[in-house]
Structure 1
Amino acid sequence: MSSGHRGDSPCSAVSTLQVLSGKWKWLILYHLFQHPSLRFSELMRRIPGITQRVLTKQLRELEEEGIVERTVYPEVPPRVEYAITPYGQSLRPILDLMHAWGLEHLRRKAERALQEPKL
């Protein structure tokens, strides 16, 4: 990581984490990377436990950052779809690496749990 100072953060990784912070953003992006576009209701179904209010807020934040685009189709009833932007696609390698690291971490954690002596 660079030791250069940019903005309020001495580490540019903090900027990335700020954009992606939020309990559900990772799952939203995961599903949008799996499908070219998804309707709001499809995202709700694919992410159990998320509320409509929170999904709306998280999507708006991702849209403001240029990660997700919202397309409204002039139909009755109106159809709204969300998709990853070309800029948002640049996150894919980062998320793939984080996913791989998470799998390895869980594997190591499970191994340690098996090695712990039972009381």
Structure 2
Amino acid sequence: MSGSPSSPTSPANDRPQTPGEAGASDMVVNANGKRRLTEEEKRENHTRSEHKRRETIRGHFERICAIVPELDSSMSRSEAHVIVMSHTYIKELKSRRRALVEFLRSKGIEIDESKMR
């Protein structure tokens, strides 16, 4: 029954399937000879990647909260608040460093600031 329209050897099946056709995901390959991902597989991969990205950001966000003294657990931890408080803390640290360098220089001690970055 090789002449039936559903047969793999029929003329209708000699053309390449498009990604929207049933079974096309098994047939369409990329330049490396690997099967292309279905839309569902792409969506799942994207969801996993996005989840991993959010977890990474959340982890670094928590590390910042642990480092900046003004960000204790009882305070609001909105992203905006954490960024503002972190910026303030960094400016304070830079000011302290500048004051220490000036103090050491006033005592005749030279500091190679290129090694302090």
Q: Could you tell me the TM-score, scaled by structure 2's length?
A: 0.28
Structure with greater strand share of residues: 1
Under a length normalisation based on structure 1, what TM-score does the superposition of the two structures give?
A: 0.28
Structure number with higher relative contact order (C-alpha < 8 Å, ≥ 6 residues apart)? 1
